[in-house]
Amino acid sequence: MQSFRATLNEEKGAEEPAFALCRGWDSASSYAAMILSSRRFPFETQRREWYIEPKMPRIRSVLLAASCLVSLLLNANAQQPSSPAVTQAVLAGKLIDVRTGRVRSRAYILIAGDRIQSVADSTPAGVPVVDLSAYTVLPGLIDAHGHLLSDPTTQSFAAHVRTSIPQATLWGVYNLRLWLDHGFTSVRDACEGPPDYPQFALRDSVKRGLILGPRITAAGSCVSITGGHGDGSPFSPDLDLPRGRNVADTPDEIARVVRRDIKYGADWIKLMATGGVMDPISDFHVQELTEAQMAEAVEVAHRAGKKVMAHAEGTIGIKAAVRAGVDSIEHGTMLDEEGAQLMEQHHTWLVPTLYCFQHDMETGLSKGRDADSYAKGVEIMTAQGPAFKLALAHHIRIVYGVDDADVDESVSKEFGALVRGGLSPLGALQAATINAAEMLDKDKDVGTLEPGRYADIIAVHGDPLADITVMERVTFVMQGGHIIKDPAHPDRNPVIHLK
């Protein structure tokens, strides 16, 4: 029988232990049961070994078992981790629970370091309080379809030829500040053109604190067929340009491209399932990557623990991408009944990017857009509204994404577009918070103002549940407990707004 070691308090000259503190047992109850039921148990001290013999009075055995049980319970309580100390608090005049839509008045968000400790009716004495009692408070927002390197001043397809990668990266630094200024504390980059992945450098620089910006989840290259929406070289055939590293025309080639993206740090894989609108050569009706290619990409990515998004505007390509197993459809602008059923069955997320197309109709050719591209935009707009209503009718999960190069002008206006399209104001808020967080597998860190989440907090004047357009005027931004934008200190982290 195994020995039961104990730490004993022994009076000098005593013939047996007066007290035992049990160690090394899974539970105090099992040890107590052994004392009461066994015949002979050794206890070791520095000088000699004691035994509990059957002749020991039963009451002494019971007392020893109880003593052991109490000691173990006291020891367990001592080892319970204490809650981290509250370092600051935010007083919310109204606090929206984005899960339910319930509104709580005068609630204190208690913050310990960069995380939320709790939400309470009061705050501990001596803790500094950020007074947002005149505002409605919500979680930090998430834009799940951005392009970090975008130049907001032009829509010329040839602009990237004249823009160096360092310059594009600096545009990225600028755009990240704009996302934060509008309350977006997280963003998913939906692929970039340069083959050396500046988006990964931006992501890692934000994480290390080298630059200010939202937390970045980044896709790699825009995986495309030759001549497809992501080809990037719609030039004269006599210009013998090298083939892009994102171009794949067979399942084997697409596996290579996906593995390269993952090798250098991609969080997501981006596939061009159909043609697009902004480029001058592809046809958005046409499926580009084959279903076999997309299935191969999904298999490689999922095996590596990565998710896959598919740019898909035309009806046939949407359905092929869903059958191939992609995790999200970007745009879905020509979704039909069969496609909506497939997305519902496969639990595929939809990032509709409604306002991007609508904004393009407003800017027209004013930023150097190609006339053929603009004509495609006019055509596809006729399908956008009916497709989105189909998605809502089939309860497809909607995630907020903007996909507009002009972040400052557009990033907050997707809220209004979603509500005009038929989503409720609460549904629009959920698209930019809990839905986006879940799709990105970040729901334990962001998306709600609940204990354990990052202290990513924004505030607006008014009630977004009654007027969603108030989300276009975020007045306060906190990220991870650090105040980024504060109406009480308008000179804090000022942002240049280009005209």
**Segment 433-465, tens digit of pLDDT:** 999 999 999 999 999 999 999 999 999 999 999
Interval 127-151 mean pLDDT: 98
Q: Tokens representing 465?
A: 């549940």
Q: Residue 251 above 90 pLDDT? A: yes
Interval 346-360 mean pLDDT: 98
Domain assignments of the chain as residue spans, ordered by start = 6-79, 82-139+447-499, 141-446
Q: Tokens representing 73?
A: 């319970």
Q: Residue 431 has what pLDDT? A: 98
CA distance 4 to 23: 8
Q: Residue 190 above 60 pLDDT? A: yes
Interval 284-307 mean pLDDT: 98
Question: Is beta strand 307-312 parallel, antiparallel or unpaired with respect to 268-272?
Answer: parallel
Query: Which residue has better confidence, 70 or 253?
Result: 253
Residue carrying the six token digits 């095996």: 303
Query: Which residue has better confidence, 489 or 240?
Result: 489
Q: Residue 161 has what pLDDT? A: 81
Residue carrying the six token digits 């130049």: 151
- Closest Cα partner for 136 from 476, 462, 475, 450? 462
Q: Residue 35 above 80 pLDDT? A: no
CA distance 218 to 199: 7
> Looking at domain 82-139+447-499, does it have CATH number 2.40.50.140?
no
The torsion angles phi and psi of 274, rounded to 5 degrees, stand at -135, 175
**Residue 65 binned pLDDT confidence (cut-offs 50, 70, 90):** low
Q: Residue 34 has what pLDDT? A: 47
Angular region, 481: left φ>0, alpha ψ -120 to 50, beta rest: left
CA distance 312 to 318: 5
Q: Residue 241 has what pLDDT? A: 77
Neighbours of 108 (CB within 10 A): 20
- Write down the mean pLDDT value for the chain: 88
Q: Residue 23 has what pLDDT? A: 41
Q: Residue 66 has what pLDDT? A: 56
Sign of CA dihedral 93, 480, 180, 278: negative
Q: Tokens representing 406?
A: 């002009």
Q: Tokens representing 304?
A: 């590596």
Fold of 141-446: TIM Barrel (3.20.20)
**Residue 79 binned pLDDT confidence (cut-offs 50, 70, 90):** low
pTM for the model:
0.85
Interval 184-193 mean pLDDT: 98
The torsion angles phi and psi of 11, rounded to 5 degrees, stand at -75, 140
Interval 109-123 mean pLDDT: 97
CA distance 78 to 69: 14
Angular region, 85: left φ>0, alpha ψ -120 to 50, beta rest: beta
Lowest mean pLDDT among 87-91, 162-166, 262-266: 162-166
Q: Residue 69 above 80 pLDDT? A: no
Interval 31-44 mean pLDDT: 43
**Residue 72 binned pLDDT confidence (cut-offs 50, 70, 90):** low
Lowest mean pLDDT among 164-173, 174-183, 225-234, 414-423: 225-234
pLDDT digits (tens, 9 = 90+) for 400-425: 999 999 999 999 999 999 999 999 99
